[in-house]
């Protein structure tokens, strides 16, 4: 039997390694031409017995500036935010907006009828109603125990 020496700071070392890994992932994320991180629209997904409802927050854009493609298993949203003219005051310009291209692919929890998708874009929120395929609605799975 091997003896393991107790170190009360082992958890702190593990936490520090995880934090370093997290910051390494953030710093290696793709950057825009302005030097900022790329824009990834946040999403919210919910599921009912008949459909999957997906909401994406894409503020400050016109619907013609992004593209939505739906397959039976996923939704892909891509687009481009164009920079707006900025005024310079006293030799200083500051912008915290992110511009450039973005793309996000969201896997769906069930197969959908991609020919019957309904979309609405209002107040910077894109809402997609994705009706489930018939075989997914009536799918019954037998679970073997033991």
Assigned domain for 21 exists: no
Give one word for 123, left, alpha or beta, with left for phi > 0 and alpha for psi -120 to 50.
Answer: left
Assigned domain for 112 exists: yes
Angstrom distance (rounded) from CA 40 to CA 38: 6
Assigned domain for 146 exists: no
10 Å CB burial of residue 56 (0-12, 13-18, 19+) is: buried
Assigned domain for 115 exists: yes
Assigned domain for 126 exists: yes
Question: What domain range is 133 assigned to?
Answer: 38-83+99-137
What the block records as the tokens of 10 is 């082992």
HSE of 107 in the Cβ direction (CA atoms, 13 Å)?
A: 1
pLDDT at 36 (0 to 100) = 47
What the block records as the tokens of 113 is 């009828």
pLDDT at 56 (0 to 100) = 92
Do the beta carbons of residue 15 and residue 77 sit within 8 Å? no
Count structural domains, the chain. 1
pLDDT at 138 (0 to 100) = 62
pLDDT at 7 (0 to 100) = 76
Give one word for 76, left, alpha or beta, with left for phi > 0 and alpha for psi -120 to 50.
Answer: beta
Element (H, E) at 91: none
At residue 20, what are phi and psi to the nearest 5 degrees? -60, -40
pLDDT at 27 (0 to 100) = 53
Reported pTM: 0.62
Mean pLDDT by 10 residues, the chain (146 residues): 75 83 63 55 91 91 87 89 66 71 88 89 92 73 65
CATH code at position 75: 2.60.40.790
pLDDT at 9 (0 to 100) = 78
């Amino acid at each position: 039997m091997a003896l393991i020496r107790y170190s009360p700071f082992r958890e702190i070392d593990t936490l520090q390694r995880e934090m370093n890994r997290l910051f390494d992932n953030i710093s290696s994320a793709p950057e825009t031409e302005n030097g900022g991180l790329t824009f990834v629209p946040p999403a919210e997904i919910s599921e009912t017995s008949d459909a999957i409802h997906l909401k994406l927050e894409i503020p400050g854009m016109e619907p013609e500036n992004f593209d939505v493609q739906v397959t039976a298993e996923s939704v892909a949203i891509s687009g481009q935010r164009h920079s707006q003219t900025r005024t310079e005051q006293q030799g200083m310009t500051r912008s915290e907006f992110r511009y450039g291209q973005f793309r996000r692919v969201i896997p769906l929890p069930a197969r959908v009828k991609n020919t019957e998708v309904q979309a609405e874009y209002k107040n910077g929120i894109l809402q997609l109603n994705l009706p489930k395929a018939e075989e997914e609605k009536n799918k019954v799975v037998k679970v073997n125990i033991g």
